[in-house]
Amino acid sequence: MTDTDTHRAILAIWRIEQARLIAVLARMTRDVGLAEDLAQETLVTALERWPATGVPENPGAWLMTTARNRTLDHLRRSKMIGRKHAEILHELEAEQSTMPDFDAAMDDDIGDDLLRLIFTACHPLLSREARAALTLRMIGGLTTQEIARAFLATETTISQRIVRAKRTLSESGLAYETPRGQELALRLASVLEVIYLIFNEGYAATAGEDWMRPQLCEEALRLGRILATLAPLEPEVHGLVGLMELHASRAAARTNAAGEPILLLEQNRARWDRLLIQRGLAALERAEALSPERGFYTLQAAMVACHARAPAAAATDWTQIAALYGELAALAPSPVVELNRAVAVAMTQGPQAGLDIVDRLTGEPALQRYHLLPSVRGDFLARLGRQEEARVEFERAAALAGNQRERDLMLKRAEETAGR
């Protein structure tokens, strides 16, 4: 194996093991920022040694042992070792002397450790952008460069976000623990929001030249699946996983060979991934079985399930989708939800009914720069035969779109409308 092959193997192993390492080190140090730094030092050690010695037979155990020893050494030699660090070190050394199989004991607690790490990385104290960057770094195993590329930011910007987030967590005095009771509900909402944000940015990129960023979708799905394993009794966790699985099932059908978007009603459903659909429907069933009241993510999963169950676009149960949007609007009212409801209403009652809803939204401050408002309005106008008005709306949507693929699609629709 060449050095290049070894480096690739190390990075692949790292992506799998990093979250586990940081979770265990954070439990040892009670400091997420320090744990992440020590884990990164362990990666550097592997990059230095493995090209010469070869990849160990059990690379995960090697990384864990090295990281644990490095952590103990750090605590022993730290000049900042005050009462807190001294107490931690004393506890860890006592564990070493009384516990014959320290690694096995860590493995027993790894689920709790990972859950603590996820809740810490997604703490509401941090900004949404910082939460997303820190989650992708510590749990997704992405490099700063990969995160910067994913969110179309500079490496310096992402690095600063991560550093500030770690400093905030370290200086805040927050307990490294899984919250309970009402605090759990509040923190879980933050965790789900971050995972959903990451998935949405991958599924429909807000900017750049590519309509989708599959790596972000895959990371969000992986995080969601981990969380569903760690918190199996939380319905909204399964609701979000179901939503992401069902959306991801369409990925292959969402673009043509040139990377151009293909809208939902025009997609070849034979290209939809049946396994992901089955997984998504199963997750939705679990969510609905756990709670009679469907939450934000479960309601959306139920909507997407209507599309997944329809063998053809014409067979879609738009009446049910419109009703579900009504439930969602009552649960979490927002102009964006109302805009989406307008699309479903138009499919059941005609474009004028949809246009009536959209026209009531044109003054909403939150939608003034939202490109999908004129896009949807242009579609309704075109279906009503008001072609010139539709063209103007599509051109406005193109001017507001941050993503190049969506901009091109809107301009194409404007040209098609003008030619009718």
Convert the pLDDT of each residue in 40-76 to its tens digit: 899 899 888 998 888 888 998 999 999 988 888 887 7
| pLDDT confidence band for 81 (50 / 70 / 90) | low
Spell out the residues 6+ positions from residue 316 whose beta carbon is closer than 8 angstroms to its own: 306, 307, 310, 347
Name beta bridge partners: 403: 208
Residues 169, 410: Cα–Cα separation, whole Å: 43
Whether residue 1 contacts residue 54, with contact meaning beta carbons closer than 8 Å, is answered with yes
Secondary structure element (H or E) that encloses residue 114, with its range: helix 102-121
Residues 8, 181: Cα–Cα separation, whole Å: 43
Of the candidates 289, 357, 285, which has an alpha carbon nearest to the alpha carbon of residue 326? 357
Instruction: Please say whether the structural domain 1-99 has been given the CATH code 1.10.1740.
Output: yes
Whether residue 258 contacts residue 303, with contact meaning beta carbons closer than 8 Å, is answered with no
Local structure of 403: helix, strand or coil: strand
Model pLDDT, residue 101: 41
Topology, domain 332-420: 1.25.40
Of the candidates 119, 233, 133, which has an alpha carbon nearest to the alpha carbon of residue 183? 119
Domain chopping of the chain, boundaries: 1-99, 332-420
Residue 265, pLDDT > 60, answer yes
Residues 63, 277: Cα–Cα separation, whole Å: 36
Model pLDDT, residue 76: 78
Residues 77, 81: Cα–Cα separation, whole Å: 8
C-alpha dihedral, 208 to 123 to 157 to 407, nearest 10°: 10
Residue 312, pLDDT > 50, answer yes
Q: What is the pTM of this model?
A: 0.76
> How far is residue 319 from each of residues 15, 100, 416, measured CA to CA in Å?
44, 62, 29
Supply the DSSP string of 207-266, one letter for each residue: SBS-S--HHHHHHHHHHHHHHHHHSTT-HHHHHHHHHHHHHHTTGGGSB-TTS-B--GGG
Whether residue 339 contacts residue 373, with contact meaning beta carbons closer than 8 Å, is answered with yes
Q: Which residue has the tokens 């089955």?
A: 278
> How far is residue 182 from each of residues 166, 178, 332, measured CA to CA in Å?
25, 12, 19
The least confident of 87-91, 146-150, 195-199, 242-246 is 87-91
The residue count of the chain comes to 420
Whether residue 135 contacts residue 198, with contact meaning beta carbons closer than 8 Å, is answered with yes
Local structure of 319: helix, strand or coil: helix
Q: Which two tokens stand for residue 78?
A: 């730290």
**Most confident of the ranges 11-25, 89-103, 105-119, 232-246:** 232-246
CA diameter of the chain: 82
CA angle 84–87–91, rounded 5-degree value: 140
Provide the mean pLDDT of the chain: 85
Model pLDDT, residue 319: 96
- Summarize pLDDT for 184-221 with one digit per residue, the tens: 777 888 889 889 888 988 887 776 677 677 888 888 89
